[in-house]
């Protein structure tokens, strides 16, 4: 945090670089964190000396050492290897949920807002309905009905995920369509589809990108939570939430639960930093100040 | 629930600094003196009691509730701690089969009083069993071969069996068959009439009160919080050592560990091996080990969905490819033994030596040979299902992953299928599972309860068409009243079970219980109720 | 206004019923049979007993009839009997709800008490160290997984430093006060049992901090953003230009206008706290509704699942309604619209 606080002490004629750093430093840091995780996940087999599922019960619950940098878990597996491989699942699930849910929700919301009338009304009531579900019950019911597994958990998450995009997209489209250039396009004689795709969506994309970025972190968090409750991945797949659950009882062997938790924290923070950065950048007030 | 003693709370010195407020709030609420609970004449037990559905004896069949049930109710007979083979007298001083071969006559101990002060009579005994027979909850199933119960005189009672070859004395040592005081149960809605299944309303009252002749009397149960008991001043073995017993619900083993270290609780039942290791040097705490009669096993079914598993040799290969020693030494922290088959070590005819001799033992070349003979030289795949639970600190999840890694060495692929309890039981009990990691704990230390289960209901779960001679072996062994002769039959039973390879027993835990040294005389038992609280007293 | 409230209430009832219907249908596709989990080992192996059990619990009725029965009972205020605890669901919920209510309320107040001022100051002193601190705290709050935070807090403040009490609502040897509200702070205060009051309060500290973390982050962020927005409005600039004191401008003009989005978010966050405390409750051994919900779902306890769905859905719908109404109070323009 000192890196954030230091610039305050600097006398007022601030160099441009420093100002940029103050405004976008965290976003850059977030981007770097995510890039690092993506690289680590992609290169995992080449940068690690252990596999994520190599069981060695004779060396179980060993504290961090030169051999195992982050120690070993209850089955003697290398925690570092599992944390790094865990990034693959978390990033993939985050992407899948947000992209699929976001695309579906956005399209539905945009179309509904454009069509108005009963379609819009119906959509809004459905989103209301989804919002008033206890998410845990829904996720558990779906896991129990379909069986525990990554894909089924993603399905459960998608069910509750799309409505917020639908709502955002709807309100964006509603705002946009009352704007002058849309009216202008209508008067020139462009069809509704053309206006929606060529005029409205590109202009509404900024807020959506912010939501998507922030949501990636959120999706990773929720997935880890479901995994923690035993509804996520099937063992022996390395996944952060499940790893924290495995280490929950091991207060003395703190490394088992601590490191996967830090991994979640760092990734989610990374996405939040980036999302905030984009928002600041898009926000006209923030730019003019 | 009045607490007469002055609570021994002290205050910690306040800490200065930014955290001072928080710290003082937190510290002030904590008992400073670790001995405070003992001083207050209470025995405080930390135990996960979330499974308990009822404390009404006729409905006690879960894992944790036999402990308070045994403390509140004495039965006709019992087992002494450490001996799970010979039945000992309790409320009955003697018993014998009458010449008709199917009636067992019990002589009651004279002058024994219930906690209420009333004398235990033959009618109370009759009522207790008759209520079981009428209500037909799970414990009834263990004695469904009892025809009727009859009072002979005030201190004599007869138990009449439908099938006299089946054992019963060893079974009624179970806490569920503790003797209830008829007048109290009836006064609170209880009945032993034929329609008791619908008409008996005493359970609600018996969940919060007891009507027994055990060392303590139940005075309240806040679900998922605690069970309270007070001393029974009339206890026939002499006044119990504590004024009160509190069983605190603590589902997290980490919480139990810290609570016993600090003296908040006197006994911690649910510690995991890693936590036990940290307590070994604690001067205030002793670790008591008691070999249980429970075990975790892998059921391997002749599943219609998996031709490989229908082959006996393939199932045997699984049994010889598992690193049992690694599981016991490392996952169970060494606190476990391993029986040959479905009879735990410590019962008649089952020893660890026998396992080395005729049981499954890790032997990879043999496993590969068996696979080759089965026509599966490259191994095969099967689905291994398990629930989200842990036994003595060994989680099914870790066990499943360990087995998966072990079997991979000979080319057998175990696909893990974690499940919730409902789906798991529905699949397993319906004979739809390929393989399941599960647990067996006995209602009573009677061999026949294990063996008859394996050839009947458990056999259906593993889709096993049990041959007639196997049924006969189990029946003969159960009917044999000479322990030595029975042991020979049980050896043969285990040998056959290993050959069929439907049940691979993995871990029979030696339960490790942490007890503060301020507590003396606490006898742990494997017979189904964890501990005899009667003899416990401040050390 | 009254007509608006009535029509919203009617929609709310329909919503709640629809939610229960959807959960009912999903739960019924679960292949598992609740009878198998509820019965003992021997009983579950006996087809006669299983049939009897299913009949007793109405599990053998056609689906529509089961749902109809649920509706009929619900109309009479009867939530049915839980399959797994064999007690009335209402009794279970009355047992478990106060623990959650107490924790969620404390956590919510905590996040408001810290989040609102932090957000306001951060916006007023934009780009100062307070702002950076606020943004950092908010980010940690929304980024840290609750279950992990709970583990870390317990490990440090209970396990290592021994400052905080362990899991649960009271110390193992403390006696719960006689139940009046089920809220330990209130019950102990009513009984004048200050020793137990302190104990209960101490047990609330860690879980409420953990539970408040993410809400705190959200509230700080929203307040900051809304304040920035408000400070940029013309009337605030006018007020400033007229030479009003900064404090008057902020508290008199900007804050009230910034409260709208905060109220919305706050309402929903409170509803979330009430219903989403599963993980905090799990790690802290808190006997609350979250744990009850989890257990009901794991055991496919239909009556309990349906009751909880109905209650949770009702909470959300009501909170939404209250939020909208308070909007109307805070901003007369909405009421007229």
Mean pLDDT for back-to-back runs of 10 residues, chain C (337 residues): 80 86 84 81 83 86 88 87 86 90 93 90 84 84 90 86 83 74 88 88 93 89 84 73 68 74 79 79 86 83 87 83 74 50
Contact with chain B for residue C100, Cβ under 8 A: no
Strand partners, B267: B45, B515
- Rounded distance between C-alpha atoms, residue B68 and residue B48, angstroms: 13
In three-state secondary structure terms, B307 is: helix
Average of per-residue pLDDT values in chain B = 88
Chain B residues inside the 8 Å CB shell of C88: none
Enumerate residues 6+ apart whose C-beta is below 8 A from A166.
Answer: A105, A106, A108, A109, A112, A123, A127
> Quick one: average pLDDT of B186-213?
93
Contact B425 C199 (CB under 8 A): no
In tens, the pLDDT along B478-517 reads 988 888 999 999 999 999 999 999 999 999 999 899 999 9
* pLDDT tens across the length of chain A (289 residues): 333 344 444 445 567 777 777 777 888 999 999 999 999 999 989 999 899 999 999 999 999 999 999 999 999 999 999 999 999 999 999 999 999 999 999 888 888 887 878 888 888 888 888 877 766 677 777 777 888 889 988 988 898 888 888 888 888 877 777 776 777 777 777 777 777 677 666 667 777 888 888 889 989 999 999 999 888 899 999 999 999 999 887 877 889 999 999 999 999 999 988 988 888 777 655 443 3
- Tell me, what's the pLDDT at A255? 93
> Who among B274, B400, B402 is closest to A250 (CB)?
B274
Contact with chain B for residue A185, Cβ under 8 A: no
The answer to whether C284 and C167 are in contact (CB under 8 A) is yes
Question: What ranges make up the beta strands (E) of B365-483?
Answer: 381-386, 390-391, 394-395, 413-418, 435-440
Interface chains of chain C (3 or more CB pairs under 8 Å): A, B
Lowest mean pLDDT among A13-17, B94-98, B436-440: A13-17
Band the pLDDT of B14: cuts 50, 70, 90: very low
Q: How far is CA B14 from CA A276, B21, C204, in A?
A: 42, 8, 19
- Rounded distance between C-alpha atoms, residue A86 and residue A73, angstroms: 14
Lowest mean pLDDT among A182-186, B61-65, B245-249, C115-119: A182-186
pLDDT at B36 over 90: no
- Rounded distance between C-alpha atoms, residue C112 and residue C116, angstroms: 5
Interface chains of chain B (3 or more CB pairs under 8 Å): A, C
Percent of all residues in chain B with a pLDDT value above 90, rounded to a whole number? 68
Please state, as a whole number, how many other Cβ atoms lie within 10 Å of the Cβ of residue A254: 18
Q: CA of A145: which chain C residue's CA is closest?
A: C30
Contact with chain C for residue A141, Cβ under 8 A: yes
Q: Which residue, C40, B405, C23, is CA-closest to A54?
A: B405
- Rounded distance between C-alpha atoms, residue C87 and residue A74, angstroms: 38
Percent of all residues in chain B with a pLDDT value above 70, rounded to a whole number? 93
Q: How far is CA C165 from CA A249, B43, C156, in A?
A: 17, 20, 11
**Whose structure tokens read 């089952």?**
B350
- Both tokens of A193, joined, read 């589809």
- Rounded distance between C-alpha atoms, residue C173 and residue B404, angstroms: 43
In tens, the pLDDT along B129-154 reads 999 999 998 899 889 999 999 999 99
The answer to whether B422 and B430 are in contact (CB under 8 A) is no
**Whose structure tokens read 């064999």?**
C86
Instruction: Kindly report each contact of residues A36-42 with a partner whose C-beta sits within 8 Å and lies 24 or more positions away, as own/partner.
Output: A37/A87, A37/A91, A37/A263, A37/A266, A37/A267, A37/A270, A38/A87, A38/A91, A40/A84, A40/A87, A41/A84, A41/A85, A41/A87, A41/A88, A41/A91
pLDDT at B6 over 60: no
Contact with chain C for residue A181, Cβ under 8 A: no
In tens, the pLDDT along B440-449 reads 988 788 899 9
**Whose structure tokens read 């349906």?**
C306
To the nearest whole Å, the CA of B31 is away from the closest chain A CA by: 22
- Tell me, what's the pLDDT at B19? 38
Omega into B65 within 30° of 0, i.e. cis?
A: no
To the nearest whole Å, the CA of C128 is away from the closest chain B CA by: 23
> Who among A8, A142, A264 is closest to C148 (CB)?
A264
Contact with chain B for residue C285, Cβ under 8 A: yes
Q: Residue B55: what are its φ and ψ, rounded to 5°? A: -115, 10
To the nearest whole Å, the CA of C253 is away from the closest chain B CA by: 34
Lowest mean pLDDT among A20-29, B321-330, B522-531: A20-29
Interface chains of chain A (3 or more CB pairs under 8 Å): B, C
Q: Identify the helix (H) or strand (E) that includes residue B8.
A: none
The answer to whether C289 and C271 are in contact (CB under 8 A) is no
Chain A residues inside the 8 Å CB shell of C297: 136-137, 140-141, 144
To the nearest whole Å, the CA of C196 is away from the closest chain B CA by: 8
Contact C297 A137 (CB under 8 A): yes
Lowest mean pLDDT among B288-302, B370-384, B425-439, C314-328: C314-328
To the nearest whole Å, the CA of A193 is away from the closest chain C CA by: 30
Most confidently predicted of B179-188, B246-255, C244-253: B179-188
Enumerate residues 6+ apart whose C-beta is below 8 A from B443.
Answer: B61, B139, B142, B171, B174, B176, B449, B528
> Who among B274, B402, B418 is closest to A55 (CB)?
B402
- Rounded distance between C-alpha atoms, residue A21 and residue C198, angstroms: 47
- Rounded distance between C-alpha atoms, residue B532 and residue A273, angstroms: 59
Strand partners, B246: B44, B228
3-state SS record for C228-287: HHHHCCHHHHHHHHCCCCHHHHHHHHHHHHHHHHHHHHHHHHHHHHHHCCHHHHHHCCCC
Q: Parallel, antiparallel, or unpaired: how do β-strands B103-108 and B156-161 relate?
A: antiparallel
Question: What ranges make up the beta strands (E) of C81-214?
Answer: none
- Tell me, what's the pLDDT at B34? 40
**What part of C 51-70 touches B (C-beta under 8 Å)?**
none
């Amino acid at each position: 945090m000192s890196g954030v606080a230091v610039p305050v002490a600097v006398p007022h004629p601030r160099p441009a670089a420093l100002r940029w750093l103050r405004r976008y430093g965290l976003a850059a840091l977030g981007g770097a964190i995510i890039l690092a995780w993506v690289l680590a996940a992609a290169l995992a087999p080449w940068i690690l000396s252990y596999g994520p599922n190599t069981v060695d019960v004779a060396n179980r619950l060993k504290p961090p050492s030169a051999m195992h940098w982050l120690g070993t878990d209850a089955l003697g597996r290398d925690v570092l290897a599992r944390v790094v491989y865990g990034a693959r699942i978390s990033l993939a699930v985050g992407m899948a949920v947000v992209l699929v849910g976001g695309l579906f929700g956005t399209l539905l919301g945009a179309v509904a807002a454009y069509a108005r009338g009963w379609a819009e009304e119906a959509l809004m009531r459905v989103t209301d309905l989804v919002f008033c579900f206890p998410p845990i019950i829904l996720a558990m019911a779906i896991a129990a009905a379909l069986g525990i597994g990554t894909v089924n958990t993603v399905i459960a998450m998608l069910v509750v995920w799309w409505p917020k995009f639908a709502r955002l997209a709807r309100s964006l489209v509603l705002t946009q369509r009352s704007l002058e250039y849309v009216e202008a396009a209508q008067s020139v004689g462009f069809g509704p589809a053309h206006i929606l795709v060529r005029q409205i969506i590109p202009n509404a994309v900024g807020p959506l990108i912010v939501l998507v970025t922030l949501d990636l972190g959120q999706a990773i968090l929720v997935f880890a939570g479901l995994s923690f409750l035993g509804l996520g991945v099937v063992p022996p797949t390395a996944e952060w939430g499940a790893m924290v659950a495995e280490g929950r009882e091991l207060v003395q062997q703190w490394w088992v639960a601590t490191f996967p938790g830090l991994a979640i924290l760092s990734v989610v923070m990374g996405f939040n930093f980036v999302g905030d950065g984009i928002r600041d950048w898009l926000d006209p007030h923030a730019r003019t100040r | 629930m009045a607490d007469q003693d002055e609570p021994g709370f002290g205050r910690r010195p306040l800490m200065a600094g930014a955290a001072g407020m928080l710290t003082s709030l937190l510290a002030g609420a904590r008992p400073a003196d670790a001995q405070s609970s003992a001083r207050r004449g209470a025995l405080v037990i930390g135990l996960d009691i979330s499974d308990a559905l009822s404390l009404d004896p006729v409905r006690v069949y879960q894992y944790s509730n036999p402990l308070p049930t045994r403390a509140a109710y004495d039965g006709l007979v019992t087992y002494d701690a450490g001996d799970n083979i010979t039945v000992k007298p309790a409320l009955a001083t003697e018993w014998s089969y009458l010449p008709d071969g199917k009636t067992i006559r019990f002589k009651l101990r004279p002058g024994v009083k219930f906690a209420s002060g009333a004398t235990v009579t033959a009618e109370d005994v009759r009522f207790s069993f008759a209520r079981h027979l009428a209500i037909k909850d799970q414990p009834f199933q263990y004695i469904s071969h009892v025809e009727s119960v009859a009072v002979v005189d005030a201190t004599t009672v007869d138990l009449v069996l439908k099938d006299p070859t089946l054992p019963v004395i060893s079974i009624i040592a179970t806490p569920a068959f503790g003797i209830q005081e008829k007048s109290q149960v009836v006064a609170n809605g209880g009945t032993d009439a034929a329609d008791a299944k619908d008409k008996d309303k005493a359970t609600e009252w018996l969940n919060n009160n007891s009507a027994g002749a055990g060392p303590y009397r139940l005075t309240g149960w806040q679900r998922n919080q605690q069970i309270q008991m007070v001393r029974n001043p009339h206890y026939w073995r002499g006044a119990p050592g504590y004024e009160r017993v509190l069983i605190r619900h603590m589902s997290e083993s980490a919480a139990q560990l810290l609570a016993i270290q600090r003296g908040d609780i006197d006994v911690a039942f649910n510690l995991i091996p890693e936590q036990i290791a940290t307590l070994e040097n604690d001067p205030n705490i002793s670790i008591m080990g008691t070999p249980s009669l429970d075990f975790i096993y892998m059921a391997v079914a002749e599943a219609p969905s998996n031709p490989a598993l229908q082959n006996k040799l393939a199932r045997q290969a699984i049994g010889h490819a598992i690193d049992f020693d690694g599981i016991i030494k490392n996952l169970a922290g060494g606190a476990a033994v391993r029986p040959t088959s479905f009879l735990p070590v410590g019962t008649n005819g089952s020893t660890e030596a026998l396992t080395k001799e005729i049981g499954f033992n890790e032997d990879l070349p043999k496993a590969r040979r068996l696979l080759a003979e089965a026509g599966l030289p490259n191994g095969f795949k099967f689905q291994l299902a398990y629930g989200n639970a842990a036994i003595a600190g060994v989680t099914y999840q870790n066990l499943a992953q360990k087995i998966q890694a072990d079997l991979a060495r000979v080319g057998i692929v175990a696909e893990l299928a974690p499940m919730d309890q409902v789906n798991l039981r529905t699949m397993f009990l319906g004979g739809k599972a390929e393989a399941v990691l599960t647990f067996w704990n006995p209602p009573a230390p009677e061999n026949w309860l294990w063996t008859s289960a394996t050839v009947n209901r458990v056999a259906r779960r593993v889709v096993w068409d049990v041959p007639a001679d196997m049924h006969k072996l189990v029946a003969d062994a159960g009917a044999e009243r000479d322990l030595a002769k029975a042991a020979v039959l049980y050896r043969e039973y285990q040998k056959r079970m290993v050959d069929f390879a439907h049940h691979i027993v993995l871990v029979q835990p030696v339960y490790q219980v942490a007890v503060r040294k301020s507590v003396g005389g606490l006898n742990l038992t494997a017979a189904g109720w964890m501990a005899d609280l009667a003899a416990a007293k401040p050390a | 206004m009254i007509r608006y409230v009535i029509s919203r209430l009617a929609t709310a009832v329909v919503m709640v019923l629809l939610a229960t219907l959807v959960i009912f249908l999903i739960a019924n596709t679960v292949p598992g049979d609740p009878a198998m989990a509820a019965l003992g080992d021997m009983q579950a192996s006996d087809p006669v007993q299983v049939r009897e059990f299913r009949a007793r619990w109405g599990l053998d009725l056609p689906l529509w009839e089961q749902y109809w029965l649920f509706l009929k009972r619900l109309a009479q205020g009867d939530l049915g009997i839980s399959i797994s605890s064999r007690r009335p669901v209402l009794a279970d919920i009355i047992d478990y709800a106060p623990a959650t209510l107490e924790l969620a309320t404390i956590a919510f107040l905590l996040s408001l008490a810290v989040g609102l001022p932090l957000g306001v100051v951060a916006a007023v002193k934009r780009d100062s160290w307070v702002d950076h601190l606020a943004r950092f705290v908010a980010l940690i709050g929304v980024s840290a997984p609750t279950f992990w935070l709970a583990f870390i807090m317990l490990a440090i403040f209970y396990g290592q430093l021994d400052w905080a009490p362990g899991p649960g609502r009271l110390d193992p040897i403390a006696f719960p006060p006689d139940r009046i509200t089920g809220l330990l702070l209130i019950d102990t205060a009513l009984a004048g049992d200050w020793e137990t009051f302190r104990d209960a309060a101490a047990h609330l500290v860690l879980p409420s901090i953990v539970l408040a973390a993410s809400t705190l982050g959200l509230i700080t962020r929203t307040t900051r953003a809304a304040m920035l927005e408000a400070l940029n409005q013309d009337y605030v600039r006018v007020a400033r230009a007229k030479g009003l004191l900064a404090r008057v401008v902020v508290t008199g003009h900007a804050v009230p206008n910034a409260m709208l989005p905060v109220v919305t978010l706050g309402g929903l966050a409170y509803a979330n706290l009430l219903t989403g405390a599963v993980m905090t409750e799990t790690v802290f051994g808190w006997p609350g509704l979250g744990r009850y919900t989890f257990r009901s779902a794991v055991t496919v306890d239909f009556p309990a699942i349906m009751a909880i769905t109905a209650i949770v859905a009702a909470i959300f719908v009501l909170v939404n309604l209250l939020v909208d109404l308070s909007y109307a109070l805070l901003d007369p323009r909405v009421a007229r619209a």
